Structure 1
Amino acid sequence: MPISLFYQKRIMKHTISLFIWTVCILLLPLEFIHAENNPTELLKKLQSLPGITDIKPLESNAYPEKYVLFIEQLLDPKHPEAGSFKQRIILGHIGFDRPTILVTEGYAATYALAPRYQEELSKRLNANLVFVEYRYFDASMPDPCNWDYLTVENSLYDLHHVTTTFKQLYPQKWISTGISKGGQTTMFYRAYFPDDVDFSVPYVAPLNKSLEDGRHEPFIAETVSTAQNREKVKEFQLEVLKRKAELLPMFERYCLNKGYTFRVPITEIYDFNVLEYSFALWQWGTSVTKIPSPKADNQTIFNHFIAICEPDYFSEQSPYPSFNVQAAKELGYYGYDTKPFEKYLTIKSSKNYMYRVMLPADLQHLSFDDTLYKKTVKFLKENDPKMIYIYGGDDPWTASGVTWLEEKENIKVYTLPGGSHRTRIGSFDKKTQEEIMTLINRWLKE
């Protein structure tokens, strides 16, 4: 499948970032170079694993040893002749006799390179970390880029290969976990390879049934927070639309200065940004007290609007092109409720906005396949694997979460009242945290 100029530019940027990363490796402190010349037991074992290359030590405040490395993966596990690519992994080592946390990241792994990074369960359990970057993101982008191989099933075979490989080092319990799209990946991985790990902890993981799922809009309009707070959010959106004549030039200048380009007219992007505002505000838990008064000046209104909802989300420079492709193909997404704003909108409808706004012309032929959704629902209904789901009560993604899972002995769902997409085990009250950790520690001993 040919790729657009936009994606060619992204691959070029990816190549430059790899060059910068290589330079940084060359500038590592002398003690790291010494470590490579005098390998530890772990490093020797890593070097002996099949398909593992480019092992580099990382500085860490959390792990005695930490490395970034690559594992060779098949582009299409069912058709090896399609070729392979290198997938980035970050390894944090505590001990060969400790449990291992498998982080099924849904995006890039760059933040896990930081010395201070330590995943929540890894910290709580004093466990090893195997952090897997998702295929087609950052350093794990195949070259050339053929989008046909970017499927959830292929990504799960990636994880299966990683787990099988690293179990040669870490024979104790394995726990898979991920956040948001990474949480989805944790869930899907369990459905496709139920015996690869001992238990799973997906955070804020939606399970969407279509490209515009339909459950998020009524959740935002009728369920999230309080009626008074919901009204305050809607009033702000209406105010931004009413001031379109004054704010649109500011919006256009802002996008121009940022270098953003779009596939549809800027007036339509303005509308979509207004529609996105409520989802973004509730998703990230922004307090409604931060919303300016309807009487505030234009600059104050504009600054808040942009702070909550950055228009790069809709731009051709979006950092998430790979996600958009997956959403359109099989992950699904959400729609917008335009009825309260119809009087002020330039767009006539938001239907199929992802195709028009977020996918380039050469990929607009994609159609949504609900096979993944149906397979996962069937698995969760008919089985009872050890899983703990964590959700935020005010997070719009919870609308398509698996909160309907009830009366299971092993699957547990915890929803934090008022919680956002940032909800973690540590977000709950002490009693609930103890309940969750007691269950996890019991599973570790079984």
Structure 2
Amino acid sequence: MRRLLGFSSVVLAVAGLVAVAPEAGASDGEDIADALAAVPRLTVVSEDAAPEGFRFFELKFTQPVDHRHPGGRTFEQRFTLLHRDVSAPTVAFTSGYNVSLSPNRSEPTRIVDGNQLSMEYRYFTPSRPEPANWSRDLTIWQAATDEHDAVQAFKKIYRGRWLATGGSKGGMTATYYRRFFPGDVNGTIPYVAPNDVVDPVDSYNRFLANVGSPECRASLRAIQRDALQRRDELGALAKADAAEKGYTFTTVGSLDESLEIAVIDAYFAFWQYQPESACASVPEPGAPAADVWAWFEQVESLNTYSDQQLDGFVPYYYQAAVQLGSPEAYDSYLRDLLRYPGADQPGTFVPASVRLPRFDHLAMPDIDFWVRTQGRELLFVYGSNDPWGAEPFRLGFGSKDSYRYFVAGGNHGSTIAQLPAEQAAEATATIRRWAGLPASPASARTYAATTPAGFPGFDANELMADRPRL
């Protein structure tokens, strides 16, 4: 099943700014650690190593389980804070999944040389209430209110301009947050955020039928058919891999069903993350099974849907099944080889112990309508080859000071820095204006070019939901 990456995307947090200003304390010279300790509901878990000029904190923030009843049960939500200066702009960042425990900076944070408050999405462990009431507490409004409460609490320290950002599911989250709390931040920069307005009526399959070259599409379809025709051979490799890693398949039903869904999804996953030039590496039908297995490991592991691989992403699949929507399976050319037709849908990946309520058909149209009629200071970035951009957010007659860009040939890791120079400079200037900063001759390309000493390299396992999906 297509899984959005929770950005921290392949690019959002890879590099740093050109210049690093000296670190400033809290207001009136107060040390930032002391200022954090004074914020109600906030616990400083630790202060970790950070590049020169920055301080990096792991935090816990006490949130209501149900924001409609703020005096009721609570849970601890995990945050991190990359602090530079209380007078600098601050970026509220979420991947839509787990929070990174490394001091990485999103692209907007680099552009404004600001502070970054990163938030773990509710129900991603350990930020999960116990006992859990999924249908009541895991909604886009509850999550947006988590972000609202946090931003309001941190504004007592960081009184400058605020921006919100995220990629993929995090970009969706940033958009929903702005819809429900339009006055909280001065600008919102969602990256590669899908907008599945009416589920299951969508444009994904039409997009997938035409993306890239006919030759590349044909080679991908050929290896998928070959894999399903050799499922006993590849299934033996999957079984050995599962035994070595301790994988089980209770949620989807069997290793064979997991393998079939992974083969279906490999086409989507290829276009999500691979450049079209990678078509040259697609094995020919009849290639040695070990070579075919190795290719799928790079694109969509045939054991992706084991219980252990799914466990960390159940909150995403739950939300896709009840509010977010999801693409239909792109598998018409494989139907004669399928043993489990119709299984490639979000509910398949949610354990039976979690009840799925009826799908909320009003949630996404509400967000889409708001963006078109009332959205302000929104800057959307997409990749033209990314299947998740098949249904992007669209600006309308009521969208003010808002923009949308497509990276030509870009995938699910598209950034402002990858845009043509003029557009990259234009988008960079817009973000700096929203942050209350003077215009700069540099574009996002310049901001991405140099990493200050001490910033870690990009950690895909830590920052992305997982390699092949949302």
TM-score interval for Structure 1 and Structure 2 normalised by the shorter chain: 0.7 to 0.9
Whole-Å Cα distance in 2 between the matches of residues 345 and 379 of structure 1? 40
Asked whether 1:144 is paired with 2:131, we answer yes
> Residue 122 of structure 1: which of 103, 106, 109 is its match?
109
1:275 is matched with: 264
Aligned to 1:7: none
User: 2:207 — aligned with what?
Assistant: 219
Partner of 1:239, secondary structure, is helix
2:226 corresponding residue in structure 1: 239
Query: Do the aligned residues in 2 keep the contact of 1:63 with 1:92 (CA within 8 Å)?
Result: no
| 1:255-295 residue CA offsets vs partner (Å, 9 max, x unmatched) | 23222222323322222111110111111124212212234
**In the alignment, is the contact (CA less than 8 A) between 2:372 and 2:395 conserved in 1?**
no
Alignment of 1:367-382 (within 5 A): 367-382=358-373
In the alignment, is the contact (CA less than 8 A) between 2:75 and 2:127 conserved in 1? Answer: yes
Match of 1:73, SS state, is strand
Task: Measure the CA separation in 2 of the matches of 1:406 and 1:78.
Answer: 33
- Aligned-pair CA distance for 1:412: 0.6
Mark the CA change 1:135 to 1:272 in structure 2 (over 3 Å): closer, same or farther.
same
- Are the structure 2 counterparts of residues 183 and 220 from structure 1 closer, same or farther at C-alpha, using a change threshold of 3 Å? same
Task: Give the structure 2 partner of residue 28 of structure 1.
Answer: none
- Aligned ranges 1:304-343 → 2 under 5 Å: 304-317=295-308, 318=310, 319-343=312-336
Which segments of structure 1 move beyond 6 Å, counting only runs of 4 or more? none
Contact 2:190 2:381 in 1 (8 A): yes
- Give, in angstroms, the shift of residue 47 of structure 1: 1.1
Deviations 1:100-152 (A, max 9, x none): 1110330000x3x224x222221221111111111111231223333231111
TM-score between both structures, scaled by the size of structure 2: 0.81
Q: Deviations over 1:69-105 (max 9, x none)?
A: 1111001111235411111111111111111111033
Question: What is residue 34 of structure 2 aligned with on the other side?
Answer: 44
Asked if 2 retains the 8 angstrom alpha-carbon contact of 1:285 and 1:419, the reply is no
Aligned to 2:209, the other structure's residue is in SS state helix
Gaps of 5+ in 1: 1-34
Letter in 1 for 2:390: A
Q: Is the 8 A contact 2:408 2:419 kept in 1?
A: no
User: Normalising to structure 1: TM-score of the pair?
Assistant: 0.85
Higher mean alpha-carbon deviation, 392-401 vs 73-82, is at: 73-82
Kindly indicate which of the two structures has a greater share of residues assigned to helix.
1
Q: Deviations over 1:392-429 (max 9, x none)?
A: 11111001211465895512110111111111112223
Counterpart Cα distance in 2 of 1:213 and 1:315:
29
* Cα shift at 1:157: 0.7
Question: Partners in 2 of 1:137 and 1:365 — Cα distance?
Answer: 17
Name the SS for the 1:260 alignment partner: coil
Q: Out of 397-406 and 425-434, give the one that drifted further.
A: 397-406
Q: Give the % identical residues.
A: 27
1-side partners of 2:161 and 2:421: how far apart? 25
Q: Deviations over 1:141-198 (max 9, x none)?
A: 2233332311111111111101111111111111000011110000001111111000
Q: 1:91 to 1:365 in 2, by over 3 A?
A: closer
Change (3 A) 1:405 1:293: farther
Q: Which has the higher contact order (CA 8 A, sep 6+)?
A: 2
What is the SS of the residue equivalent to 2:359? coil
CA shift, 1:63, in A, is 4.9
- 1:200-243, CA deviations, whole angstroms, 9 ceiling, x for partnerless residues? 00011112235545321221112x22222222211121121222
Q: How does 1:42-441 map to 2 (within 5 A)?
A: 42-61=32-51, 63-109=53-99, 111=100, 113-115=101-103, 117-147=104-134, 148-209=136-197, 212=200, 214-222=202-210, 224-262=211-249, 263-286=252-275, 287-317=278-308, 318=310, 319-347=312-340, 349-350=341-342, 353-355=345-347, 357-403=348-394, 408-441=399-432
Is the 8 Å Cα contact of residues 37 and 44 (structure 2) preserved in structure 1?
A: no
